[in-house]
Amino acid sequence: MRLSRDEIPGRLKAIDDPPGFLLVKGKKTLLYGEEILAVVGSRRPTGQGRRLAFDFAYELAGAGVTIVSGMALGIDAMAHWGAHMAGGATIGVLGCGLDQDYPKRNQALSRVMARDQVLVTEHALGEKPLPRHFPHRNRLISGLALGILVVESEMASGTMTTVNHGLNQGRTIFVIPGSVEDPMKIGNNALIKMGAVPVTTPMDILTYLNLE
């Protein structure tokens, strides 16, 4: 299914560089929800990070929040699974064509997303998952959302690219804090020092966004 520029969700259409079109597989109505939160983080998370991504997405989706992420391994995948297992809604934004099997380890998730949730991309069928696509893809993840939750992040990462897009788009950045000795929380703690909102429970986010 192809969405023209006029059919793109309003929040995404309002960013500085909106997509000219979107290709969609699944329940396109999920793209037009008001209560959408991005959940992002490392492709190589700790066990605690995987659990937190799943649990936060599960609780938020159970409260009616749609979870958007990038279908990558690690935090992204756990956030999508958490939202789905809660019986809630989740949006997967791809950095390639809808016909590309990437990443292969997420095949089961991709099937579930296409059947019960929604996958979306600005890339035509046949477009490969090239490295240059993903930083640009991240502006769509933040553009669809009210805010961004960072679960685990190193300083130099795709997560920080999404955060930068979100800041430029005026999105609220939420961060799960962590130990100063944990390398996977270096980015998290740096964001808090720069003014991001620290959260320790899903209710913190719901309260902040008046979504209780």
Give the mean model confidence (pLDDT) for residues 55-74.
Answer: 98
Tokens matching residue 177: 């804090």
Residue 176: other Cβ atoms inside 10 A: 23
Structure letter (DSSP) for residue 124: P
Tokens matching residue 98: 């809808």
Domain ranges of the chain: 2-208
Give the mean model confidence (pLDDT) for residues 76-100.
Answer: 98
List the CATH code of the domain at 2-208: 3.40.50.450
Q: Is the pLDDT of residue 46 over 90?
A: yes
| pTM for the structure as a whole | 0.96
Tens of pLDDT, residues 132-156: 999 999 999 999 999 999 999 887 7
Give the mean model confidence (pLDDT) for residues 170-190.
Answer: 91
Q: How far apart are CA 67 and CA 161, in angstroms?
A: 18
Q: What is the model's pLDDT at position 157? A: 78
Nearest to 75 by CA among 110, 111, 104, 38: 38
Q: How far apart are CA 96 and CA 2, in angstroms?
A: 15
Q: Is the pLDDT of residue 183 over 90?
A: no
Q: What is the model's pLDDT at position 154? A: 81
Nearest to 102 by CA among 126, 85, 136, 80: 126
Tens of pLDDT, residues 100-126: 989 999 999 999 999 999 999 999 999
Q: How far apart are CA 147 and CA 129, in angstroms?
A: 26
Note whether 154 and 186 are within 8 A (CB).
yes
Tens of pLDDT, residues 2-29: 999 999 999 999 999 999 999 999 999 9
For the chain, what percent of residues have pLDDT higher than 90?
Answer: 91
Q: What is the model's pLDDT at position 199? A: 98
